[in-house]
Amino acid sequence: MDGEPLVRWHWVGTHLGYLRGLLLDHAVISLLPVLFGLLIALPLGLLCVRFPRLYQPLAAVFNVIYALPALAVFVVLIPYTGLATQATVMIPLTCYSLAVLLPTTVDGLRSVPEPVRQAATALGYGPWRRLAAVELPTAVPYLVAGLRVAAVSSISLASVGALVGRGGLGYLFMDGFQRTFPTPIVAGIVLVTALALVTDAVLLLARELLAPWARRESVVGR
């Protein structure tokens, strides 16, 4: 629309509750799949480390899924999960997250030196205790790196869900485009970016708390 300002601050001020609701919905439908992907990637990663021949076929399957257009997958799921439901958006996002998290999980578990495993076993650590106390802490930097990529990707892709009735902040893009009204579009871009930056910062903080040696090693490596 000719003469339309980029941002109408009055609209933003009168729609704060609406924007807050969309942001919360976006966070749920985009970040829960990353959590689900991590919960699936951990046991699958353990299986791939224990049985190396499983890794390539599994990685190939999830890479093919990752290459599928998100909108097409959403549409295919509608007859089974329903229109405008969280499941329609979250199932594909979980698979996309898993495609990123499986390789980083396997790399992280493989990064544990064999002498370290043997030393833990010699100290009386059973397989589960060794996993919890030695292998997973060592793999934390790899896991966080994968989570950062998966989270930012999921936050971005979740917006496409608005086209099938459940897309959080994606509604702002549709609304602004349909009405030739740029303010919702700008608000959506800012909020999606802010959510991605905050999520990334939280994951970096988690890495600092869970694996403080990783940053020291990177500094020494320079």
- Please give the chain's pLDDT, 222 residues, in tens: 556 778 888 999 999 999 999 999 999 999 999 999 999 999 999 999 889 999 999 999 988 988 988 888 988 998 998 887 889 999 999 999 999 999 999 999 888 877 777 787 787 777 778 877 788 888 899 999 999 999 999 999 999 998 888 889 999 999 999 988 999 999 999 999 999 999 999 999 999 888 776 655 543 343
Query: Which position has the token pair 């999960």?
Result: 81
Domain limits, the chain: 18-216
Quick one: pLDDT at residue 150? 96
Q: Which two tokens stand for residue 102?
A: 């499986």
pLDDT at 23: 96
Q: What is the pLDDT of residue 215?
A: 59
Supply the pLDDT for residue 221: 45
Q: In angstroms, rounded to a whole number, what is the distance separating the alpha carbons of residues 8 and 27?
A: 25
Check residue 218 and give its pLDDT. Answer: 47
CATH 1.20.1420.20 fits 18-216, yes or no: no
Give the H or E element holding residue 68.
none
Confidence (pLDDT) at 111: 85
- Cα separation, 25 vs 154, in Å, equals 13
Expressed in angstroms, the distance from the first to the final Cα of the chain is 52
- The confidence score (pLDDT) of residue 142 equals 92
* Whether 111 contacts 139, CB under 8 Å: yes
Distance CA 24, CA 171 (A): 13
- The whole-number pLDDT of residue 219 equals 34
Angle between helices 182-210 and 16-50 (to 10 degrees): 40
